[in-house]
Amino acid sequence: MAEPTDVDFAGSCVCCTPNLSFGPGPTGVSPAGSDPAAAARGAQLVNTLASTHVPYPTLPRTSSTVGGQFDLQSQDYQLSVYCDLTYVKGWIMYLIRLDALVPAGTGGSGKVNWGPDPAPGATPFFSGSDWRLAKESTVIVGGGACNPSGLWFWDGSAWQNVPDAWQDIGSVKLFPIGIWAEGTVNKAQTDDGLWPEPIPAWGATEESLRSSVLPQWINTIQTTWTNKFDLKRQDCPSTDSNCCRYHPKIIATFTETTTFPIDLTKSIVLAGNKGLRSNVRAWSLGDDRKYLPAHEFGHLLGYPDEYSGGGPVDTSVNEDGATAGIDNKSLMGMGMNAEATAIVKARHFRVICWELSAMIDIAIGGQQCYGHVIKAVAPTS
């Protein structure tokens, strides 16, 4: 995904993207932009915008059409960003990459394919198709002390010890997945969607954890993302700084359901155990990193990780503190692990800007569409 600039996000309207630079002047005669006729046309355009300016403080709730998994609504410039998640109760387990540590032909493929490996020396990420189901264990298969990894893998017919030599260099050889039961079917977040043994129901411990943790998650998502930026219609000609200035508030809800349609957005596996890490569709109640839910919400808006060792990063992001997609002082980067650095950046409001632009286009009815730009600006107090 291209990053236009760090704060200005062109609307999705393509019918009449404005050209306010008015074109170059006559070659060799005057500097670019000084063509009087073009300047006059530009002034006329600006006047037209001013005379036809209609503010849109109120816009109906709409599911995003420009990416991300959220609904947007405006009431008197109070912008509600709805993150309504449904969840099934389940657990975090794993896919493990064993490569040559197991003999060729060993069964139990996890049936995922994450594409080619990075070039040697490049930043590692989750890749390849050599993945098997895995789970944590405190003993070795057959009894005895735990093996170094504390993990078993599924070979297609039984659990086996992960070889002692296994190491997760770069943190890209163990991927968390959610597992859950739908009736008597044991499901996993893999391409074939199956887990090879019965999945236990939650007990009192997990129910109690949910009661205490979900309200904290909601609070963290909402406070981390709210009052960080306002959205301002760039082409608003009013001298009133509050005209066309929207105040986004994130509203997160979690609703239990009994099935997890893996293709359906806005649904997650809520894991009752503490996984070594979570993923965007499997959130661990036992994960005590405070900003995890706010980070995962960023994924729901469509933003990739901004640290190496996660999924692929967007190397085209090179501003606002990011270098080749990596930003250590960002909620989407390693910064998520500390309050001082779990920072939401202006670029993280891009998709909300796009959706707001699209909604204003609809309100305008396409008749006066002038490809407005919505930008993220410092919040009003």
Contact residues for Zn ion, defined by CB under 5 A: 55, 236, 238, 243-244, 305
Residue type, 323: T
- Closest approach, Cβ 233 to Zn ion, in A, equals 6
- Closest approach, Cβ 237 to Zn ion, in A, equals 7
Sign of CA dihedral 208, 210, 216, 218: negative
Nearer to Zn ion among residue 292 and residue 358 (C-beta): 292
Nearer to Zn ion among residue 161 and residue 281 (C-beta): 281
- Closest approach, Cβ 238 to Zn ion, in A, equals 4
**CA neighbor of 248 nearest in space, from 331, 321, 344, 334:** 344
136 token code pair? 């944590």
- Closest approach, Cβ 320 to Zn ion, in A, equals 18
Scan for tokens 């909300």, then name that residue: 352
Going from the C-alpha of 225 to that of each of 43, 67, 220, 366, the distances in angstroms are 38, 18, 8, 31
Chain CA centroid to CA 224, Å: 14
- Closest approach, Cβ 126 to Zn ion, in A, equals 11
Q: CA-to-CA distance for 233 and 244, rounded, in angstroms?
A: 5
Residue type, 25: G
Nearer to Zn ion among residue 163 and residue 302 (C-beta): 302
What does residue 94 show for φ and ψ, rounded to 5 degrees? -145, 160
Going from the C-alpha of 3 to that of each of 9, 111, 307, 323, 325, the distances in angstroms are 9, 33, 17, 12, 10
Nearer to Zn ion among residue 101 and residue 243 (C-beta): 243
Q: CA-to-CA distance for 173 and 220, rounded, in angstroms?
A: 29
- Closest approach, Cβ 142 to Zn ion, in A, equals 37
Nearer to Zn ion among residue 163 and residue 286 (C-beta): 286
Q: Which residues face 187 on adjacent strands?
A: 180, 194
Nearer to Zn ion among residue 230 and residue 305 (C-beta): 305
